[in-house]
Amino acid sequence: MENNGIESLTIEINGYRAHYLKAGSGPAVVLIHGGASDARDWISTMTELGGYFTFYAPDLIGYGQSERRESGYYLSEFGDFLAGFIDRLKLEKPALVGHSLGGRFCLDVAIKHREKVSKLVLIDTTGLGKMSVFGNALQTFFWGLRKVLKQPQPYPTFLMKPGEKFHRSYDEDLRQLTVPTLLVWKRYDPYLPVALARKAKRLMPDAKLAVLEGYGHAPHQKDSEEFNRILVEFLGEQKPS
């Protein structure tokens, strides 16, 4: 089905039925939503920039219209899903763009499968360090509010393997990451301080940082015009030979 030039499609990835949105024409760009959203998070980006790129925005396993396993998923399964998505659609070195938790999964793929990724864009990405105290408090508040209002949990259960940490150190991996990377951050992110992005940029050999003014956690939505300009500029750059 197609709506406003955006196709709604399904595909099987690693044994799971996965839903994704596709739009545009040009170089392939895979868009990965955050931990409390789904592929619809990117509709504005896909609509506005469809003349520049071919966008693929999957619902991660357990999200949106993709298959959901009640027992939950290990964090490593999301990176495997993303790598499988790239392979299944035969995308040749697409750019990966990830927001919040989705950025962490994009980073995992870029670290483990560098040959699959041309460029990496991390938007207010989790996993690079600990959340702020205020951010933890907000997360607890909204979890409690959903319970009181009897709203369904918008995300699957996350499972942890023995010794695995949600906020593991990526420092050594970042030092070795050669994929050209753009970090996009709000100056006042209530969950993830911009200091995390600055530290990551210092560690990475080929990284840029764009700090957007104001408060928030989703600049691709709140500051869509500025974000789109930055994205086109970065993805359109040619790496010197």
pLDDT in tens, 48-86: 999 999 999 999 999 999 998 888 888 889 999 999 999
Task: Extract the tokens encoding 173.
Answer: 């991996």
Q: Residues 126-170: pLDDT tens digits?
A: 878 664 444 454 455 445 544 544 545 567 777 777 766 655 667
Instruction: Provide the β-strand partners of residue 9.
Output: 20
Largest Cα–Cα separation, the chain = 57
Mean confidence (pLDDT) of the chain: 86
Q: Residues 90-114: pLDDT tens digits?
A: 999 999 999 998 999 999 999 999 9
Q: Locate the DSSP E strands across 171-237.
A: 181-188, 207-215
Q: Looking at the predicted structure, is the pLDDT value of residue 88 above 90?
A: yes
Give me the CATH topology for the region 2-235.
Rossmann fold (3.40.50)
Overall average pLDDT of the 181-190 stretch: 94
Which 3 state secondary structure label does DSSP give 168? coil
Overall average pLDDT of the 229-237 stretch: 92
CA nearest 120: which of 100, 108, 102, 106? 106
- Count of CB atoms situated within 10 Å of the CB of 228: 16
pLDDT above 90 covers a percentage of the chain that reads 63
Report whether 18 contacts 138 (CB < 8 A): no
